[in-house]
Amino acid sequence: MIKNDLLLKALRGESVERPPVWMMRQAGRYLPDFMKLKEKYDFFTRCQTPELATEITVMPIKQVGTDAAILFSDILVVPQAMQIHIEMQPGRGPVVPDPIDTKEKVDKVIVPDVREELNYVFEAIKLTKQELNDEVPLIGFAGSPWTILCYLVQGHGSKTFDKAKKFCFTDPLGAHILLRKITDTTIAYLKEKVKAGVDAIQLFDSWGGLLEPQDYHEFSWQYMQQIIDALKDEIPVIAYGKGCWFALKTMSQSGTSALGVDWTCDARNARYLSGGQITLQGNFDPARLYSPPSEIKRMVHQMIDAFGKDRYIANLGHGILPDIPVDHARAFVDAVKEYK
């Protein structure tokens, strides 16, 4: 029995004394202890070593006090398991030296046995659950097939992912074959995460907002829906699409337990667009954590007032930035805990 089950209550739509709070990317780069490990181990070593992943996952629970843990990992472990070579380059982020930008390359991409290729993730989940000792729930996650395709085709991060969009629009058959392979791998991966013991799943569609609405439904949402359909009867699913306010109505009818909202869509619009009956998560601007702690607390209370304490999970609108002071992250969490 999980002692602090506020997140799970909110995902079930139950009334709570205050909203639960956690932060996207909370297990990582803003924490000094994380930076010490970063100096000793490269990125994918940290992801692929269950003991390190567990240590990093638990850090913010002990140091910042969030109501949930999210497993330290990366969305790109899925294409790695599909035998696509990915490098994490300093100053550049993820790089795919040989982008999957032709149908011939797509045809060579495999759907792997995730139990074999990603066993280190499932071992990290089991180890983390032991370490958490039922204090708070553990969230597992995956990237949306569209977001993963963006990196695989573009070959690196981008503000526009123009090459990824070009591939979809000039070779839609190849794009859909790749998206289906990513989707099948992701479903198998998340089902194994559920077996390993996670308490909720979040799907990150970080680049969905780069598509216009019709293309979003064709190249992103239909695959998100397939993943939700495969999981929703087993575990609560949170769907997060950055810049995807235009799809909130469709997303709210998908069977997902909650929808993540970024800071460009205010609470009133988010409630209206999503129909007002689903749990929402968000949507504090991560850059606002640069503000003084007193200002953070004032704005957090405003945010909760706007969303309401029920059917709501306090979070950032995207991942925490790397140079945010730990005291400011703690002020954000404390402000939610102090809310009355």
Supply the DSSP symbol for 246: G
pLDDT of residue 179: 98
Specify the 3-state DSSP secondary structure of 221: helix
Q: Give the number of other Cβ atoms within 10 Å of residue 333's Cβ.
A: 21
pTM of full prediction above 0.75: yes
Can you tell me the distance from the alpha carbon of 340 to that of 172, in angstroms, rounded to the nearest whole number?
Answer: 51
Can you tell me the distance from the alpha carbon of 304 to that of 328, in angstroms, rounded to the nearest whole number?
Answer: 18
> Which residue numbers belong to the known binding site?
25-29, 44, 74, 151, 206, 318
What is the number of H-type helices and E-type strands within the chain? 17, 9
pLDDT of residue 306: 98
Of 112, 108, 186, 110, give the one whose Cα is nearest residue 145.
186
pLDDT of residue 235: 98
Specify the 3-state DSSP secondary structure of 282: strand
Domains of the chain: 6-337 (3.20.20.210)
pLDDT of residue 244: 97
Q: Which helix (H) or strand (E) holds 205?
A: strand 200-205
> Which residue numbers belong to the known binding site for substrate?
25-29, 44, 74, 151, 206, 318
Instruction: Identify any residues that bridge with 301 across adjacent strands, giving them in sequence order.
Output: none
User: What are the pLDDT tens digits along the chain (340 aa)?
Assistant: 999 999 999 999 999 999 999 999 999 999 999 999 999 999 999 999 999 999 999 999 999 999 999 999 999 999 999 999 999 998 889 999 999 999 999 999 999 999 999 999 999 999 999 999 999 999 999 999 999 999 999 999 999 999 999 999 999 999 999 999 999 999 999 999 999 999 999 999 999 999 999 999 999 999 999 999 999 999 999 999 999 999 999 999 999 999 999 999 999 999 999 999 999 999 999 999 999 999 999 999 999 999 999 999 999 999 999 999 999 999 999 999 999 8
Specify the 3-state DSSP secondary structure of 237: strand
pLDDT of residue 340: 87
